[in-house]
Structure 1
Amino acid sequence: MPIDAILFDKDGTLFDFANTWGGFGRSVLEKLSGGDPERVAVLGQAIGFDPVTEEYSRDSVVIAGTVDEITEALIPYFPDMARDELTDVLITESATAPQAPAVPLIPFLDGLRKAGLKLGVATNDGEVPALQHLASVGIRDHFDFVAGYDSGHGFKPGPGQLIAFASHVGVDPSRVAMVGDSLHDLQAGRAAGMTTIGVLTGLAPAEALAPMADVVLPDIGHIPAWLDAN
């Protein structure tokens, strides 16, 4: 099937995961712990993050989880803090995190739009921080659709966001490609009946993505050549 629309995950796909969220993880845990190194280490272990190396484990809840799921992992360590308060801290801090584009995004997205493709973003991040991240690198207006876990369509690996995008742009799901760096992204794509493209700018290796991907590429910059060849 020809591809008429592309839906991108955000973290690890449009933006390089390690270069964006490594330093952020340490800074937000230091803020939550009042700078206590031992408490930072404990909180890091709860979310699969090493604050010394600034690296996430491959099963870290931060990689593909929602803010609510990250809150769920951390809230036992904050008995005097309301769940909503902790969630608000995480959302506020993440919204201002500097983003590291996986490729030069403006020319890349300009090229896709000039080719007539409809574009969207489906992320398990919140919608507000997602919009801020896109705007911070000048690409908000390149997308026809942006959905977070809290936009009313559910979250990945469920297909709700993906079906909503296809409906919004008027393209049959079979003519949409879902692009992501995690199994959650690709499982959602398969459930929606879309072509699935894995990329290696997250933390998952190619062999982990391959069973759910129609193709695994080094990064999103390889998509135009792959589309041309297929």
Structure 2
Amino acid sequence: MHPLLHDIRLVAFDLDGTLIDSVPDLAAAVDGMLVEQGFEPVGEARVRDWVGNGSRKLVERALASVVGEAPDASLIEASHDHFLRHYHAAPCDQTRVYPGVREALDALEAEGFIVTLITNKPAAFIDPILEALDLRRYFRTTLGGDSLPQQKPHPAPLLHLATQYGVDPAQCLMVGDSRHDVEAGRRAGFRTLAVSYGYNHGEPVVSSRPDGVVESLRELV
């Protein structure tokens, strides 16, 4: 096993950009929302740099790009509703599991780790996507961006799971693709492992100084 797993009992994974590439479906929903309101679509490449802080922030960033200024709260709220409707209709048409993910999850399960999921994606989308990709069985608990009052990079979701399973934060590992995952892990007292292939707003995740970086989650095992 990877050296960062030494003495670790609980592993918390991020979802988008870490376990799955969900940008194609997110981009389709964003573009559908924009076109429906009379704006030009922005395309997958731009959406890829906006993912990571939950769906409302994604919508806000998309609107700012087409409006040319910070959108007002009423436009964000109405647009978010449109986005959710589009995404609910097709949350997993083009989403794919990254190479190495299943091997890592199989190995962690076999070794008896407590495997959990912490994402800023709305909770209603988590199980349908995991079920469609045959990943749900690996996770003892999943938390979405609206499961608690706080979301990553706040440490509360991570500490919630550590408390739930009675595990000291020093024996927990946060695995993600962005600076928000690294910050949340650091603030919670978790070890942090980053994957190099995720979204992270177009920045190299190594600049966030995680405890380790891997090219593939297959390196965990």
TM-score w.r.t. the length of structure 1 is 0.77
Label 1:108 to 1:67 Cα distance change in 2 as closer, same or farther (>3 A). same
Aligned with residue 215 of structure 1, among 193, 207, 212: 212
| Matching residue of 1:150 | 146
Aligned with residue 174 of structure 2, among 169, 172, 178: 178
AA of the residue aligned to 1:155: Q
Aligned with residue 45 of structure 2, among 46, 51, 55: 55
Structure 1, residues 72-115: CA drift from partner, whole Å, max 9, x if none?
34394995983563353255246344321112544431211111
Label 1:214 to 1:86 Cα distance change in 2 as closer, same or farther (>3 A). same
| Matching residue of 2:7 | 2
Label 1:178 to 1:82 Cα distance change in 2 as closer, same or farther (>3 A). same
Q: How far apart are the structure 2 equivalents of 1:176 and 1:147?
A: 16
Q: Does 1:39 align with 2:39?
A: yes
Structure 1: which 5+ runs fail to align?
Answer: 45-50, 225-230
In percent, how many aligned pairs have the same letter?
25
* Number of aligned residue pairs: 207
Q: Do the aligned residues in 2 keep the contact of 1:67 with 1:90 (CA within 8 Å)?
A: no
Q: Let me know the Cα RMSD of the aligned residues.
A: 3.0
Structure 2: which 5+ runs fail to align?
Answer: 1-5, 65-70
Label 1:106 to 1:154 Cα distance change in 2 as closer, same or farther (>3 A). same
Q: Indicate the larger mover: 70-79 or 159-168.
A: 70-79
Residue aligned with 1:56, SS: helix
Query: 1:196 Cα deviation (Å)?
Result: 0.4
AA of the residue aligned to 2:151: F
Label 1:3 to 1:94 Cα distance change in 2 as closer, same or farther (>3 A). farther
Q: How far apart are the structure 2 equivalents of 1:26 and 1:183?
A: 21
Residue aligned with 2:117, SS: strand
| Matching residue of 1:71 | 59
| Matching residue of 1:131 | 127
Q: Do the aligned residues in 2 keep the contact of 1:187 with 1:212 (CA within 8 Å)?
A: no
TM-score w.r.t. the length of structure 2 is 0.80
Structure 1, residues 193-227: CA drift from partner, whole Å, max 9, x if none?
01000101213478543443011110211112xxx
